Amino acid sequence: MEAYILDAVRTPRARARPGKGALSGLHPQELLAQTLKQLPLRTGVDVADLDDVVVGVVSQIEAQGANLARNALLAAGWPIGIPGFSLNRFCGSGLQALSLAAMGVASGVQHLVVAGGVEQMSRYGLNADGGGTDGGNVDLRRRFFQVPQGISADLIATLEGFTRQELDAFGLRSQQLAARAQAEGRFQRSLFPVTHPQTGEVLLAVDDHPRPDTTAEKLAALTPSFIQLGARPEGPAGETLDELALRAYPRAGAVRHLHTAGTSSGIADGAGAVLVASKDYLRAHGLKPRARVRAVSAVGSDPVLMLTGPAVAARKALDAAGLKPRDIDLWEINEAFAAVVLQTMRALELDLERVNVNGGAIALGHPLGATGSILVGTALDELERRGQSLALVTLCTSGGQAVAAVLERV
């Protein structure tokens, strides 16, 4: 695939708190607009050349509705001739935006595209669009009862035989690696400080979601997060969510509720953007890219188990690039839940030393539509820091899908 990344930027991820989160007072269009504005500043490209602005955002309602992409580029003061559209592939939306941008330029149809993502979960938390997992389609629900992600994560942990200690150890690792990365400034290249649109006051300059004082003891003391959810009688005949999960996977015997706030991705606000260019555009403007998008993929997987797609998506992208898992220097597997990463690592026989080396969404938070584009920058920054070549970014999504992209430094 001939598609190149000129640069990737992101906001810090802010702990989501209605009215109180560091980024909760900004309109989400403004949050993205500030992110977009960084790209021409850093690369020197003329935004009038842009063929499109593609933005992932999951809860497309109210302030996040009205085609956020187009409004954000207008808010950025960019020319009215630039089009923009918003997409939703749940948690994979930000990486899906990159895939579309890469496909657009690789096909020769487009030459310069911004791929971004944003989610302000302080205002719009999980399922804020009211659609639930299946839009309330009772006919579909008879065939696939799609339990919420937390139940899926606990079901995966049960089926894979992961222990609470293993999940907690992964949660602790995420916090420790994120703390080290922050202390060593490993996120600095992608990050920019978000400011108040009127006063210019810095609202947030670094990720404020991590809990660096996390210990194994504190994690072990946390109550599992999804016990009550699992006991909710939401089935057509009053079955609980746990019973519905077990109906699809009777061999689990019982859903062991193991994930806690310390081993689940955090609810956060944030935005990211990636500038993608064709080879012709680079040549015509004498620009040097940071990386090439070698391959992208999207797959569907079991809609009940829901979160086991990343290994399948990664294999598909690796096959397209003619690579094997062992060829990848750095993996960014979105930490939706600890079990998701552990299951992906087991399925692909990955070495922990190469996976989420600067922590992930458990420590840093997961602003749903933004995370995919944020992880692109995280992976590139670390490849450059280490002088390595290949990264693979993958995210599971609600409804049993996953997306992946193979990135190569140039």
Give residues in contact with ligand COA (CB under 6 A). 91, 126, 149-150, 175, 211, 214, 218-219, 222, 225, 261-262, 264-267, 336, 366, 398
Per the CB < 8 A criterion, the answer to whether 399 and 368 are in contact is no
366 is a catalytic site residue: yes
Assigned token pair, 360: 């992930």
CB of 181 to ligand COA, least distance (A): 16
**The pair of three-digit structure tokens given for residue 72, joined into one six-digit string:** 């954000």
The residue whose two tokens read 């609600």 is 398
396 as an active site residue: the answer is yes
β-strands 291-300, 194-195: how paired? unpaired
Residue 393 and residue 197: Cα distance in Å, rounded?
32
Active-site residue, from 111, 209, 259, 396: 396
Spot the catalytic one: 209, 257, 259, 366. 366
Residue 89 or residue 292: which is nearer to ligand COA going by CB? 89
Cβ of residue 261: shortest distance to ligand COA, in angstroms?
A: 3
Decide whether 47 or 267 has the Cβ nearer to ligand COA.
Answer: 267
Cβ contact 26:12 at 8 Å = no
Report the residue number, 59 or 214, with the smaller CB distance to ligand COA. Answer: 214
Residue of 91, 209, 257, 259 marked catalytic = 91
Identity of the residue, 105 or 395, whose beta carbon is nearer to ligand COA in the bound complex: 395
In whole angstroms, the minimum distance from the beta carbon of 288 to ligand COA comes to: 36
> To the nearest whole angstrom, how small is the minimum distance from the Cβ of residue 257 to ligand COA?
11
Catalytically annotated residues? 91, 366, 396
